[in-house]
Amino acid sequence: MTRLFRHLKPYGWLVAAVLVLVFFQTLSELYLPTLMSDIVDTGVVKGDTPYIWKIGLFMLLVALGGMACSIGASYFSAKAASGFGKTLRGKVFGHVSNFSLEEFDKIGTASLITRTTNDITQIQQVLIMMLRMMIMAPMMCIGGIIMAVSKDATLSLIFIVIMPVLAAAIFLIARKGIPLFKAIQKKIDKLNLVMREGLTGIRVIRSFNRIDHEKKRFDAANFDLTDTSIKVNKVMAFMMPIMMLVLNVSSVAIIWYGGLRIDAGHMQVGDLMAFLQYAMQIMFSLIMVSMMFVMIPRASASAVRINEVLEMVPVIKDTVTPTSTSGQKGYVEFQNVTFSYPGAEQPAIQDISFSAKPGEVTAIIGGTGSGKSTLISLIPRFYDVEEGKVLVDGVDVRDLPQEELRAKIGFVPQKAVLFTGTIQENIRYGKEDATDEEVWHAAEIAQASDFIAGMEQGYDSVIAQGGTNVSGGQKQRLSIARALVRGAEVYIFDDSFSALDFKTDAKLRAALKEETRESTVIIVAQRVSTVLDADRIIVMNESRIAGIGTHHELMETCDVYREIVYSQLSEEEIA
């Protein structure tokens, strides 16, 4: 947790203000009982009314001062803690945006979300508590003991009995409570995971009638969390009564022995009253310490989870000696590339070599799981190759700054993702400063302008979260338009025509051909009709290239290709 508090630096003066204010607040609280004993012992006993007024007013001032300090401390500690939370969330988000897909795979999206929200809130709360109690608890405990001893040293011996009893009670409760608090954090994570899966997969769950199954799964996680929370609360419920018991029994003992000492003339009434209050302060400071003991392990569990994210080093980093591309535009070349996903036993693609030039269309076809998506994800350097090289414009992608590399590429992912916002904003996502004409043109080519015109607000129609208010095919066309508006050197379409009907598919590819005359186009497809007229077809089979060539060449030479073709086209179409 201490490592996280580094990020508290910008709020240094707020923290300092809190500590100073708490210092003065504690001072005033330690001073008040003494003033009171003065009033009783000097003023009341001697019947000195002006003295009572004088000290009484002074007491009021001290109390008001203490109150002001307390309010100020609350205000500044809340400010420091929420600022700290803001900074931390920003740091985590900023760091996560530099992650390559490998790190996302490792931590998991659900956990990343819990870590940036719940875990940081947890730390924020503990921070507030620590700021207020860190100074107050020890100061009150030590100050209280000193003041009590100064009032009556003999009576102070009573603490030798009370303190160990109280400490033992706190120790026992903390020992039972702390592991439970740690467990709670993990169970919240689990609950979030189940909840998230249940919500994002709601369509699948409904269609497979798995609602009951999901409900059971959620209930299990929910009960698990509830059980642990109840256990914690049972333990904690003991805390207050035990503390109050110790407090009250101690008060009785103090008054009893104090009374005897007053009777014998060793002590004054005011001193006994003050003594009683110091005893309370000492015991409350111990309770505060015990609360910190319980809260801190819980927050440190959260801190560990946040540090895990912050300290994860992205596998993909810009080189320190970037090379710039010279003149060439849109050349993509794979040289004996092999790549495996982390932890996978077998490579997802092996020994891939080919090159693509501007003005050419390279199509990649093959069964599901044959490595098509993996292959193209290496071009924008979503992952780094294991062996071989991926060259863009003659330079190894690892030697190009990521920004420069990705600016060259218009990428349409297999799963179309739209953002909440209007259609226009979604298309402009590809190029921030695109003019209206460019946006319309891109939509036109992507065959999206017709359905956009059909929508009530046209380009200003709002896309719902996750793009649920447009069909699969419409989503695909919008994400194609988003890539086209970039005017990129290399276009990559990962199975982007699969949700389109044959007519739209053909129209789109014809328009695309015009538009991308000077760009390199790489199309991943399932349908033979989509790849027929490509300049080069790469046939993927079980992570390897089974053949490269035009349709006619492959029909002669490649068994895998022939199989795919026969499974899809009728005899006359093939001829």
In DSSP notation, 238-270 reads HHHHHHHHHHHHHHHHHHHHHHHHHHTTSS-HH
Binders in 409-428 for Mg ion, by CB under 5 A: 414
Q: Which is nearer to Mg ion, 201 or 369 (CB)?
A: 369
- For the beta carbon of residue 152, count every other beta carbon within 10 angstroms: 22
3-state SS, one letter per residue, for 72-121: HHHHHHHHHHHHHHHHHHHHHHHHHHCCCHHHHHHHCHHHHHHHHHHHHH
Q: Which two tokens stand for residue 482?
A: 């988003």
Q: Should residue 369 be labelled a site residue for ligand ADP when binding is judged by CB under 6 A?
A: yes
Pick from 2, 326, 368, 465: which binds ligand ADP (CB under 6 A)? 368
Cβ atoms of 508 and 446 closer than 8 Å: yes
Token couple for 187: 């169970």
Asked if 345 interacts with ligand ADP (CB under 6 A), we say no
CB closer to ligand ADP, 101 vs 237: 101
| Inter-residue contact 358 to 520 (CB < 8 Å) | yes
Judged by CB under 6 A, the number of residues near ligand ADP is 12
- Burial classification of residue 436, based on how many CB atoms lie within 10 Å of its CB (0-12 exposed, 13-18 middle, 19 or more buried): exposed
Least distance (Å) from Mg ion to the CB of residue 190? 30
Q: How far is the CB of 348 from ligand ADP (least distance, A)?
A: 4
Residue 475 C-beta: closest distance to Mg ion, Å: 16
C-beta separation of 266 from 150 below 8 A: no
For the bound state, the minimum distance from the C-beta of residue 524 to Mg ion, rounded and expressed in Å, comes to 7
Closer residue to ligand ADP, CB minimum distance, 99 or 459 = 99
> DSSP characters for 525-564?
ES-HHHHTT-SEEEEEETTEEEEEE-HHHHHHH-HHHHHH
If the CB atoms of residues 261 and 372 are measured against ligand ADP, the closer one turns out to be: 372
DSSP 520: E
Report how far residue 520's alpha carbon sits from residue 491's, in angstroms, rounded to the nearest whole number. 6
| Of the residues 48, 105, 224, 360, which one makes contact with ligand ADP according to CB under 6 A | 105
Cα end-to-end span (Å), the chain: 71
| 3-class DSSP state of 515 | helix
Q: Taking CB under 5 A as the rule, does residue 26 contact Mg ion?
A: no
Quick check: 374 binds ligand ADP (CB under 6 A)? yes
* 370 contact, one of Mg ion, ligand ADP, none, CB 5-8 Å limit per kind: ligand ADP
Identify the residue among 15, 21, 288, 348 touching ligand ADP (CB under 6 A).
348
The answer to whether 25 contacts ligand ADP (rule: CB under 6 A) is no
**Residue number with CB closer to Mg ion (283 or 522):** 522
Q: In the numeric block, which tokens belong to residue 469?
A: 């208010």
For Mg ion, what does the binding mask look like between residues 344 and 373, x meaning CB under 5 A? -----------------------------x
Output the smallest distance, CB 413 to Mg ion, in A.
9
- Our finding on whether 371 is near ligand ADP (CB under 6 A) is yes
Closer CB to ligand ADP, 29 or 494, in the complex: 494
Shortest distance in whole angstroms from residue 480 CB to Mg ion: 16
Non-local (6+) Cβ contacts of 36 within 8 A are: 59, 270, 273, 274, 277
Judged by DSSP in three states, 391 sits in: strand
Nearer to Mg ion, 205 or 365 (CB): 365
Are 300 and 1 contacting, i.e. CB atoms less than 8 angstroms apart? yes
Nearer to ligand ADP, 277 or 373 (CB): 373
Q: Any contact of residue 374 with Mg ion (CB under 5 A)? A: no
**Residue whose CB is less far from ligand ADP, 372 or 381:** 372
In the list ligand ADP, Mg ion, none, the entry touching 477 (Cβ below 5 to 8 angstroms by class) is none
Q: Which residues bind Mg ion (CB under 5 A)?
A: 373, 414
Q: Which residues bind ligand ADP (CB under 6 A)?
A: 105, 341, 344, 348, 366, 368-374
